[in-house]
Amino acid sequence: MKHVAHWDDVEPYRREIGHIAGDWYDLGRAAGSVDVGLKRIQVDPGKWSTPAHSEGAEEEIFFILGGDGISWQDGEPYEVSEGDVLVHLPEREAHTLRAGADGLDVLAYGQRKTQGNTVLPRAGVAWMHPSWVDVGGPTPWEREAAVGEPEVGEISPRPSRIANLSQGLPWELETGAVDLNLGDVVGSVETGLSHMAIPAGAEGYPPHCHSAEEELFVVLEGSGTARLGDESGEVRRGSVVSRPAGTRVAHSFTAGGEGLAYIAYGTREPNDVVYYPRTDEIRFRGVGVTLPAGKR
């Protein structure tokens, strides 16, 4: 199906220079996302994911798929491990990740905003894609590598912008599915993240489509069926489903015999309108009102 991919079928690209090393998978583009992006980063043991950086306009959310390590933020190191969620708001703390002895497997979500710039404070450069402030010379990643590894001191208590799945805010659907809100827990603003667990044979949210919000789903456990309009296809761990805004194609998930669990990421657009074809209703996000659509 269109807008469905699997991470096993995505060719990785290598990013390695100095203390930074890992394999990158562009899952968002593989699934056809438009205004949001998703990368899977497998950081080598003891290595770092990226230069320490702060985004000028984009909000970033990270979900730790496996392994452990530290989140380095403005010189403060915090422990992270499987099931942890981190948010980094624009123009806030410079951040990067260092893998532990077994490596670190990360889902990195972000917006695709062309007007933002990325500041690398340790490298002394601002990256204004596709170039940087003093055009030419060493790239920002080369400059970061030349500075050497960030210093890591004593581990600090975790701030509220880092949380674990166990701290999610639960919402139980009539079908028995449980949606754990993680974005609100860590303080995301323009985007959200949640963990959905659907019992065997049950459906998650009913079929719906968004006018302005884009969503990305990554299956973590079990298997089931994704329905996109009149099409349906099997999904399993590693399946990535993209739902760009304004497609008029309703989507839903139904769990197989093992149940189904996925991570859902999406934008938060106050002018979004959601249409539910099964009940012919529309919901206006900004005012929190649901009305009959009266479709003819």
Q: Do domains 4-164 and 165-292 have the same CATH topology?
A: yes
Nearest to 84 by CA among 170, 164, 166: 164
Show me where the domains of the chain are located.
Answer: 4-164, 165-292
Distances (CA, A) of 35 to 49, 57, 78, 139: 23, 14, 30, 26
Superfamily of 165-292 according to CATH: Jelly Rolls (2.60.120.10)
CATH of 4-164, one of 2.60.120.10, 3.40.50.1970, 3.40.50.300, 2.40.37.10: 2.60.120.10
Residue 168, CB half-sphere, CA atoms under 13 Å: how many? 24
How is residue 277 annotated by DSSP?
T
Q: What is the pLDDT along the chain (296 residues), one digit of tens a residue?
A: 899 999 999 999 999 999 999 999 999 999 999 999 999 999 999 999 999 999 988 999 999 999 999 999 999 999 999 999 999 999 999 999 999 999 999 999 999 887 667 888 888 887 766 555 554 678 888 989 999 999 999 999 999 999 999 999 999 999 999 999 999 999 999 999 999 999 999 999 999 999 999 999 999 999 999 999 999 999 999 999 999 999 999 999 999 999 999 999 999 999 999 999 999 999 998 888 888 887 65
Please tell me the distance from the alpha carbon of residue 45 to that of residue 202, in angstroms, as a whole number: 39
Residue 45, CB half-sphere, CA atoms under 13 Å: how many? 2
